[in-house]
Chains A and B, each alone.
Chain A
């Protein structure tokens, strides 16, 4: 199973295995990674699973969707070019080792 490296706002790092097809958010919340709130469970309704994707994986995670784009604009933490809602990134073998930093406010 591909792995995800989460850097949490509290400074801790968590390496979590994910099923192919499940989202980065799902893998993180089920493992209890601190900082990911993900209140809507991946319905793209809350913008509380905001992460910054590390450079080497920026392209591999794909494009920001239209609705996600609007939600990200108004997310609590600053939006950068690395910003994504982690519920919108399904895991694949190509993303094995992907590193994300959980946004400090959700």
Chain B
């Protein structure tokens, strides 16, 4: 794959983006018997790879490059899926049907009958001084992870900006290496965007027990350096946290530039329906570049950055392109690994109006069940896999678990599942 390869002059389906969503669109099309040529164009130099381990097992060194590969070269060859990496698309033209042509950076063009945008997202950066200093890292791509892994090996003092999943996973890896680790978060608790307070508290206690320090409710003023190298993070109150490595984990920005050029509706991400159709009936999108209708809040759109969402949107897109019935709706789910903690999340918790906490007397686990108008909508579990599996199953069947009974941590949730009233 290292030799630059010319683009074919034309293809049936052009998938822009060779991550989880793009690969799944192509693979699903073949599983559905779609026989037209398929071309995957990736902007990164690597063959398609899995992103979740980058902040977990790859970062801590327990997973290598080979394990990251999404598919073997043989798979793509046998499935007749053309893959070109290191080929960012510069421009697209489409007609009313959605057919058109793409021009890659460098000038090659390819004509297509169907267009799928799977352009992913990039790490959000901070609009503050010093954000471009050597030693300030984001964590999104394989390149990012390789850089960060190498720097962790010689870092002493790590400051993580942001207490979301990426920030906490990075802090878990850094603290496990025995590094002096501080997390700075603008909100007053961890995972504030997605989780209820009891889960935030549980994770805060565990990270503190690992030696991680937290500066919550704290803004960063600038990142301070010397001779181009990071030296400290300066907080809004004037204090400086010394650092030789800063990890910026403040979210992701959907890759919408091509969609915007095409005049597609973009509201933070590319707006799609449940079939992955954009505002142009003939153009599809899937994965982290999209926003979709919120399952609980009417008129709101939701970006769901997860492997599950990428895969399920991609399957829906493949079905629409192939002209077959859409797959049944799937339950959103997500996971995170932080040292000996496994977080498993089912459903979408935003929009909840109450919650129930289950925790064993050991204090080593917790589940938060989220409810809206009395019905179960989501759960977050730490080291309680049976709770996660039960909630995922209940949500998949559009059923619920009564909140009063759910509070007893010794009752199996799967025995409490009932129909929604």
Binding between chains A and B: yes
Chain A contact residues, CB within 8 Å of chain B = 19, 22, 26, 29-32, 34, 39-47, 67, 70-71, 73-76
Residue on B with the closest CB to A71? B385
Measured in the bound complex, the distance between the Cα atoms of B387 and A73 in whole Å is 11
Residue on A with the closest CB to B386? A70
Measured in the bound complex, the distance between the Cα atoms of B307 and A76 in whole Å is 19
A45 adjacent to B335 (CB under 8 Å)? yes
Measured in the bound complex, the distance between the Cα atoms of B57 and A67 in whole Å is 17
Within 8 A of A (CB), among B272-323: 307-308, 311
Partner of A67, one of B67, B75, B385: B385
Partner of B75, one of A31, A39, A41, A70: A31
B71 adjacent to A41 (CB under 8 Å)? no
Given known contacts A43-B56, A43-B335, A45-B335, A32 and B308 CB-to-CB distance under 8 angstroms: no
B307 adjacent to A39 (CB under 8 Å)? yes
Measured in the bound complex, the distance between the Cα atoms of B311 and A33 in whole Å is 16
**A interface, by DSSP: helix, strand, loop or mixed?**
loop
Chain B min CB distance to A68 (Å): 9
B342 adjacent to A32 (CB under 8 Å)? no
B342 adjacent to A67 (CB under 8 Å)? yes
B335 adjacent to A46 (CB under 8 Å)? yes
B53 adjacent to A41 (CB under 8 Å)? yes
Provide the residues of chain B in CB contact with A44, threshold 8 Å.
Answer: 342
Given contact pairs A30-B69, A32-B71, A67-B342, a sample of 8 additional A-B residue pairs in the complex whose CB atoms are under 8 Å apart: A26-B67, A30-B70, A32-B75, A39-B333, A45-B335, A46-B333, A71-B389, A74-B389
Provide the residues of chain B in CB contact with A70, threshold 8 Å.
Answer: 385-386, 389
B53 adjacent to A19 (CB under 8 Å)? no
B27 adjacent to A32 (CB under 8 Å)? yes
Indicate if B268 sits at the interface (CB-CB under 8 A): no
Provide the residues of chain B in CB contact with A29, threshold 8 Å.
Answer: 71
A34 adjacent to B53 (CB under 8 Å)? no
Q: 13 A-B Cβ contacts within 8 A?
A: A30-B72, A31-B72, A32-B75, A39-B308, A39-B311, A39-B333, A41-B52, A43-B52, A45-B337, A45-B344, A70-B385, A70-B389, A71-B389
Indicate if B373 sits at the interface (CB-CB under 8 A): no
Chain A min CB distance to B412 (Å): 9
Provide the residues of chain B in CB contact with A41, threshold 8 Å.
Answer: 50, 52-53, 307
Indicate if B229 sits at the interface (CB-CB under 8 A): no
Chain B min CB distance to A49 (Å): 13
Measured in the bound complex, the distance between the Cα atoms of B385 and A39 in whole Å is 16
